[in-house]
Amino acid sequence: MKLALFDLDNTLLAGDSDFEWAQFLISRGVLDREVHEVRNREFYEQYKAGTLDIHAFLDFQLKPLGRHPRAQLEAWHCEYMAERIRPMITDQARALVKKHREDADLLAIITATNRFVTAPIAREFGVENLIATEVEEIDGRFTGRGTGIPCFKEHKITRLEMWLAERRLLWEDISESWFYSDSLNDIPLLAKVSHAVAVDPDATLRARAAAAGWPIISLRA
């Protein structure tokens, strides 16, 4: 079996879905611009620098989900997909996913961003399998808290192995594996697969890819 894994933000997307979700809510007046915009940018810079406290970020990012009915959140998400996400999907990104699908590889998007934000994006790419940070939900309503192990840094490997185990698979069952990512935060999983590919990488990942002989590609228009 062959496995193709895709990071989402700044990899398949020419932008960051987590950052843009908060900015979208700010633009709609759901979140206070003065309070949230600076904090949202601070967390984004910390992520890019590899210094993000994932638990502090999730506390910030998930709280709005607990303040609004699910139907309202879904309506906002439809607008967000049209305004923020689809413009960030390039033909090159769609073609890459299509290539692996046509090769009959097992496909999965693996992302630190939460499932509420990313599940419709995975569907947009036609990728059935999504490994993401999970949001706690009780009786159909989000609590504003995360649950389980955040899908971040070295824990992406943990979450991937859990996902494989649910399918009665082990790493040994995977004959070839690809992982496409832009971020230094994903170096642990990139080092685990048989084919690591740096996509429009940050400076740290670009240097690591060059040293390791990993391909460096661009999916930007």
Domains of the chain: 2-217 (3.40.50.1000)
Q: How far apart are CA 77 and CA 200, in angstroms?
A: 27
Provide the whole-model pTM: 0.95
Q: Are 144 and 23 a contacting pair, CB within 8 Å? A: no
Determine which one of 7, 16, 18, 182 is catalytic: 7
Query: What residues contact 156, with CB distance under 8 A and at least 6 apart?
Result: 110, 112, 131, 186, 188, 189
In the prediction, which pLDDT does 93 show?
98
Residue 139 is a catalytic residue: no
Q: How far apart are CA 133 and CA 147, in angstroms?
A: 8
In the prediction, which pLDDT does 165 show?
96
Residue 9 is a catalytic residue: yes
Of the candidates 8, 13, 180, the residue with the CA atom closest to the CA atom of residue 84: 13
Residue ranges of alpha helices (H) inside 28-186 are 33-49, 54-62, 70-80, 91-102, 115-125, 155-166
Read off the pLDDT of residues 23-47 as tens digits, 9 standing for 90 and up: 999 999 998 888 788 888 898 899 8
In the prediction, which pLDDT does 166 show?
96
The tokens of 1 are what?
Answer: 């079996």
- Ranges of residues in the chain whose predicted pLDDT is under 50: none
DSSP category for residue 51:
-
In the prediction, which pLDDT does 40 show?
84
